[in-house]
Structure 1
Amino acid sequence: MHGFANPARFLRIARWLTPACLILGCVVAGAALAWGVFQVPPDRLMGDTVRILFLHVPAAWLGMAGWMTIAGASVAELVWRHPLAGIAARAAAIPGAVFTAICLVTGSIWGRPTWGTWWVWDGRLTSMLVLLFLYFGYIALADAAQRDGGGNGRVAAIFGIVGAVNVPIINRSVVWWNSLHQPPSITMGKSAIDPAYLWPLLFATIGFSLIFAGVVLARMRAILADIQAEARLRRKAMAEAGA
């Protein structure tokens, strides 16, 4: 892990990996969505509304994965003092929040014809909404730490670790509480989804995951560029003050 701690080494790798992830992700996700929209047959019960599955499920997965990225990077920042860990956590926050919001919006659109309502306060929906608010809180803390010169970075990192408690709650909510939301369709080594839906869903998840990775890498490069530019300006100001 510390082999990538050098910003120059990271930037050399990220320079080609960022467009590779974004381009490949767009191609795979676009093909999977086209497959799901135009080739997959309507569901016996939900009809054509089932097609929102191919956006809703990857968005839900990446909303949770984004926070686990924040939590893992926060642990690396606090325990191992990894120089890029805090930057990685900050970079994952906004795309994670965007995918969480997409999950909530598409779930609401899907729920209206399926359940007869836009929203119900069940465990899955409520815990996912809490995740979005956690993202907002983390983004605010991370921005405050950046303005403070990194002085409050530990607070944001601790918040990122504590907030991870909500992720298993989201995952197990449909098991712990009986609600309108269907139980898990994919579990360890099992799937209740017909292969006609499962394969395009798998490729859509891979494609959007690559897009997520590309956006995180691009944001890390942008944050590093801002830090380096700020450091150069600070050195220049000190040199002018000492002249």
Structure 2
Amino acid sequence: MSPRREFATAALMCAVGAGSAVVAGGRSWATVRATDTITPLSQHVTGRELTAVALALGWAGLAGLAALFATRGRVRAAVGCLLALFGAGIGYASATAVRDTNVLRVAAEKSPMLRLDGDAVVQPAAWWIVSLAGGLLLAAAGVIILLRGARWPGMSARYETAGTGGAREGTPPGPPRAGATTRPQDGDASTLWKSLDRGEDPTLTPADRDDGGAREKEEH
């Protein structure tokens, strides 16, 4: 696989992993049902309510994705290390957030009536698994970037420095193209004035002057 293809694959993994954690954070991760209260209760709790860490690290992963495109070399490898840590944190937070004790505590804070029922049942949903999978995917992408990212080209690698005509840095400029207009440099003012005193146009090339002289001779 070429370096650019590796780069694109790792970036896609980061986007999917971090994006999954962000999307799943706003969904219902568990439902608490109580039947021994005055009226049966059913309380949904979201990932954001169970743990704010997974959602925050998901946003951090998306920010790290932007930094991935703006860096190169060892700095990019350091970004990969951070992304791996973000992904591991998302996975750990997602797995621990759906413990019954944590879910019951959060649900009781939302519905005080649940505190009267000691037999409330916790029914986890599938969105915490989506967040967990996204964290693992982000962590895997971070490891790949840490190990391989320093070898990948930067965003500006395909562009050449403006005004160099595509030449690499340090390469001496080639001879002027045929027919190109030669203008005096800023430090050659004396030559400019001498040309004006002789009645010559300093912007003309030697070839233009030769053609002009030949036409004058033909007219005479």
TM-score (norm 1): 0.34
